[in-house]
Amino acid sequence: MSGLLAGKRLLITGVITDASIAFSAAKIAQENGATVVLTGFGRLSLVERIAKRLPEPPPVIELDVTDPDHLAALPDKVREHVDGLDGVLHSIAFGPQSVLGGEFLNAQWEDVSKALQVSTYSYQSLAVACLPLMQSGGSIVGLTFDATKAWPVYDWMGVAKAGLESANRYLALHLGKKGIRSNLVSAGPLRTMAAKSIPGFEQFEDAWAARAPLGWDLHDTTATGKAICALLSDWFPATTGEVVHVDGGYHALGA
């Protein structure tokens, strides 16, 4: 086996369609020598069908990151397929329609709390659930959308991502003593299923493609997938608590 991730055992969440960022990451990881296990929630048969489009169809484990029983059972379920993990991709986010699309002032705590639990707290809960499977040198990677700014229509999901970026720093602090890294990839807007569910998301897609110094392809998840795999590899052994931007350079521009 050869490649950047040769011999690595990876748990990848968030594959819904072959346009998912997680799908791209799983494909590139396999092409670079990794053994991949996927998780799915809800439409498990859909994830299993999409998994067959990968170079090597991986096993799929059911996981609801808001269910303590699912999290507690995760290590044993993973061990049915691999004897440990070297890396984990957290590609999970959700917010009810009421917390998006310009509804910031109207959103109720019941819906906001759901967005925060799934999109922010689950980064910590997934990491903790996977710790029994990981050793020093392991890597946890999550996905964010630049939370240093307020974006049109993103509203409480922007707040959730800000929390995720803070949680990443605290995970880096607490997992560092175990030799495990925690980093995020901040991708530009991509037309994934998650993006399509955000009302008015197209408001800044065109501006991004026009203004990013390197340009930006709204349909190409490859660059993001490559960054994820690089962070899951051994090539960033002293990098943790970081947010790596993969957005064509848009974040570096002024308003």
Share of the chain above pLDDT 90, in %: 86
C-beta of residue 143 within 8 angstroms of C-beta of residue 93: yes
Q: Which helix (H) or strand (E) holds 61?
A: strand 60-62
pTM of the predicted model as reported, rounded to 2 decimal places: 0.95
Lowest mean pLDDT of 8-17, 155-164, 191-200, name the range. 191-200
Q: What is the tens place of the pLDDT at every residue in 35-44? A: 999 999 988 9
Predicted confidence band of residue 208 (pLDDT cuts 50, 70, 90): confident
What number is the average pLDDT over the span 182-203? Answer: 78
C-beta of residue 186 within 8 angstroms of C-beta of residue 246: yes
Say whether pLDDT at 196 is over 70. no
Q: What is the tens place of the pLDDT at every residue in 109-144? A: 999 999 999 999 999 999 999 999 999 999 999 999
The pairing of beta strand 181-187 with beta strand 9-12: unpaired
Q: How many CA atoms lie within 13 A of 233 on its CB side?
A: 20
**What span, in angstroms and rounded, lies between the C-alpha atoms of 23 and 33?**
16
